[in-house]
Amino acid sequence: MAAMTNSAYDASPPSSTELPPPSRLHQVVVLASSGAGHLIPLVELVRRLAVDHGLAVTVVTLTGMSNPATDAAVLASLPASVATAVLPAVSVDDDTHTIELVRRSLPHLRALMEGLRGGGSPAAALVCDFFGTAALPLAAELGVQGFVFLPNSLAMIYIMRYTAELHGGAAAGEYRDLPDQLPLPGAPALRHADLPDGFGDRTDPTYAYHVEEARRYGGANGFLVNSFEELETAMAESFKRDAEDGAFPPVFPVGPIVRSSSSGEEADESGCLEWLDSQPEGSVVYVSFGSGGALSVEQTAELAAGLEASGQRFLWVVRMPSLDGASNNFAEMDDKDDPLAWLPEGFLERTSGRGLAVAAWAPQVRVLAHPATAAFVTHCGWNSVLESVAAGVPMAAWPLYAEQRVNAVILTEVAGVALRPAARGGGGLVAREEIAAAVRELLNGEKGSAVRCRARELREAAARAWSPEGSSRRALAEVAGKWKAALVDGNRTIA
């Protein structure tokens, strides 16, 4: 059984569960998967369900694949009315995928939900994360609505759906690779090189997991997606038509759901905000590859040289380089690690005054909202993308792993809010000359002017989406209304 508290995280599951009193109406159970990139937008969604719609919510996290301290820091920002639960540990090893962790945890989730019902607080809905659809059959069995929250783009649902349709009822040995050209509504066809990690090669160990996950999509009552209609217009319209025809469950764009400057961000010990205060308005390029992005030693040196050659002001969040060529590294930094030590000799001295390099972390939401920030060199993680869009900051798209290449296509060729520096040859190295040219173009060039204009337009569109009559606000209100009605009248199916 899971440990439950109100807006508190217990990292060590006890032997019994303390349920809330029967008077508490638990209308929604939200199952989070591992990783801050998934948990942060999920927590912000829960905040809106609780504060804006008066829903009682229990956030359920897993034991075994994420850092409890990191999870606790994110969960601490939840309203006091939100309960949290941590499921007991299950057997895992280094190769256990999050999807498999969810599957092994289902007996504990069942016990929690049955306990809520027995305590007089039945759930009307189970909302699972992108990697948690193994819980959808459990929702159906218990008679509650099963929803999926995607912290990514609408395009990712389309790719997952296409994957399921391609393979149909094929056995694992019959899986086929996704095609070299995968059409997307309103977008150029995705090239094979643009597919998310694990999708382009049927021999990849995660490929079967993705196929299995995608096949369960048809059993969902609906999808909540961290995007908004004006960002992916054609995609949103395509899903609307399919829902009306009964070809696919309803898809509700409810974004952009981004952190506020006061939720989950630590104090700025780096001093970068104070430094930005001293810079001219619209003059600084912000460079960050997220909490997991990693550049090679060679690429780190090229980036430094490119920023120096650009002549532009910059704020660079430097992480430890990858020594094995991997493009992601989610390991916690050791106290002895100094990523700034890997910068070229004399770089910090030569760029002093117009550039600032900080180690590992910066208060990104506040940096992007700062008047001095003019552009963002980004790995295209979806949280970072939406934070930049909400702030009206144009981007240089530099994808590294996961679905970031898909996001880069959306940003450059659909939304028109980013430029993309070209990589050299098959190794993917972005040369210093290309970096310098991209930065100068983004801030001062003709193509950059169009991107800057589009960034301002999307900032206004993002604000409209969450205005009182905005599309995203209305979409979330529609779903919340269905859940409330289901609990009151016993009708647990989407109309």
Pick the closest to residue 306 from 442, 450, 453 (CA basis). Answer: 442
Least confident of 81-85, 120-124, 236-240: 120-124
Instruction: Give the pairing type, strands 83-86 and 3-6.
Output: antiparallel
Q: Of 26, 38, 167, 370, which is the active-site residue?
A: 38
Q: For 381, phi and psi rounded to 5 degrees?
A: -60, 140
Mean pLDDT of 305-327: 92
Going by pLDDT thresholds of 50, 70 and 90, the confidence category of residue 120 is confident
Q: Of 26, 129, 194, 210, which is the active-site residue?
A: 129
Active site residue 93: no
Active site residue 242: no
Going by pLDDT thresholds of 50, 70 and 90, the confidence category of residue 25 is low
Going by pLDDT thresholds of 50, 70 and 90, the confidence category of residue 335 is low
Quote the CA–CA distance of 103 and 328 in Å, as a whole number. 25
Going by pLDDT thresholds of 50, 70 and 90, the confidence category of residue 425 is confident
Predicted model pTM: 0.91
HSE, CB side, 13 Å, CA atoms: give it for residue 305: 13
Q: What is the enclosing helix (H) or strand (E) of 453?
A: helix 446-465
**In sequence order, which residues have a C-beta less than 8 Å from that of residue 43 and are 6 or more positions away?**
59, 74, 75, 77, 78, 263, 264
Tokens standing for residue 188:
């150029």
Interval 456-466: pLDDT, tens:
999 999 999 99
- With tokens 């990139």, the residue in question is 37
Least confident of 11-20, 168-177, 420-429: 11-20
Mean pLDDT of 143-151: 96
Is 80 exceeded by the pLDDT of residue 326? no
Quote the CA–CA distance of 366 and 276 in Å, as a whole number. 10
β-bridge partners, 127: 30, 147
pLDDT at residue 330, rounded to an integer = 57
